[in-house]
Amino acid sequence: MPLCRKSLDLHADPLAVARALADRPGLSLLWSARGGGPSYVASDPIDEVSALDPEPSLELDPALGAAGRAPRWIGVLPYEACRSLERPRWTRSSDPRPAPHVDRPLWRRYAAVAKIAGDSVELVGDDAGAVRGLARRVRAGLASARPAPAKLELVRVESAARHAARIKQALSLIAQGDLYQVNLARRFELAATGHPVNVLETLSRRAAAPYAAALCLGAVDVVSTSPELFLALEPDRRVLTAPIKGTRPRGGSAAEDAALCRELDADPKERAELAMILDVERNDLGRVARTGSVKLLEPPHVDTHPSVHHRVALLGAVLGQGLGRRELLAAMLPSGSVTGAPKVRAMEVIFGLEPHRRGLYTGAFGALRQDGGLSLGMAIRTLTLADGRGHYFAGGGIVADSDPAREVEETLWKALQITGPSGPAGLPSASGSPPQPSRNWAVSPGSASERDWTYGS
């Protein structure tokens, strides 16, 4: 069925369009804040589903072309959704820890969305009336909407000593041969005021990201500045995932930045960490991929973000015949990038060592598109908000030669956008240097990494 499209003669600003719809129910903003691809804004959903795949009958359709990349469903897939991978004694039903903000998949169906790309605003949908209605709401909202302040105040964070202690426990399990790697995180708790779009704008001043989002889910709001591609499924059945392993803070100058990039890229521990996770991801993809199609499309390299450097690689595959989105998501979620190796055992160790349930953290969020494809960011650098209180996790992969003190410091690098350059009260600075402007010194614009890491690229 052809899609309806309508161009609007408006200034192409995703945040402004989102603010124009801020008071509408079910606002969703998927923002390519690094400028590598289109962004999408939607409101007034027409349906809501809790399932891995919200519309199993929707087929992959390459004939829809560029318009088909517009979201049809926007939602979240929390880490909690696949806790059934853990063996019975560790299952979610017996987990005594309090329920997290998000513990089940939630998708919302939109009949029309606004696509903002370059200097254009285009409305795309499968219902002509919905497209016209969205045009009226955007124009009316833009006439009155203005930026508004948002405030985040750090309320509580687990102590460095406590996080270091569980890292040492993990190192003991690794030394015994129980597992090879496990991702461990600590939780930061915040008080928040302001609309999620304004909170996102505030965070993005320190961390402009390819997978930024503000999602109003009813009782819970989600604000993310994720740097990581969890999963993309294209209408020709190609699958992409881009695991990140290895982090360094930004330097105070171009020369210091370059030295940090070289040190990160050469570090034996960081290289081993990403190599192990690539093996996990290859294995997971191999369960649902056409035989022989799993390939390393981009070897490990350093990618730079406003507050950190990361080491990343890109894997690709072709989804096997007779398999669909549900099978793909069940095989890949949660990602080995944010669990460990072996994945199931790492999840059990996470349950045993982390004092809080993760909820959305290290799950995924994003879009099921009109063409049947998926564009999903990894739910890291992600804040969930309920009743004015926020949860934000920061963690890292623990391997045999991890240094607990360095791993604790890494959590502060990854929390810099919520703590500021001096760190939270009572904690050391995450870096001796102030946050750097949004520049990308390690990946040139238009490279495969930049191109693939955007909504609907």
Q: How far apart are CA 274 and CA 244, in angstroms?
A: 7
Query: What tokens appear for 34 in the block?
Result: 């690094």
Q: How far apart are CA 324 and CA 246, in angstroms?
A: 32
User: Of the residues 86, 201, 245, 270, which is catalytic?
Assistant: 245
Query: Could you give the C-alpha distances from 413 to 69, 229, 308, 333, 351, in angstroms and in order?
Result: 34, 20, 7, 25, 24
Measured distance CA(58)–CA(69) in Å, rounded: 14
Catalytic site residue from 228, 273, 410, 450:
228
> Which residues lie across from 309 on neighbouring strands?
248, 304
Q: What would the two tokens of residue 322 be?
A: 């007779």
Active site residue 168: no
Distance, in Å, from the CA atom of 18 to the CA atom of 227, rounded to the nearest integer, reads 21
174: region left, alpha or beta (phi > 0 left; psi from -120 to 50 alpha): alpha
Burial of 166 (0-12, 13-18, 19+ CB in 10 A): buried
At position 333, the amino acid (one-letter code) is L
Decide if 245 is catalytic: yes
Q: Quote the CA–CA distance of 256 and 436 in Å, as a whole number.
A: 12
Active-site residues: which are they?
228, 245
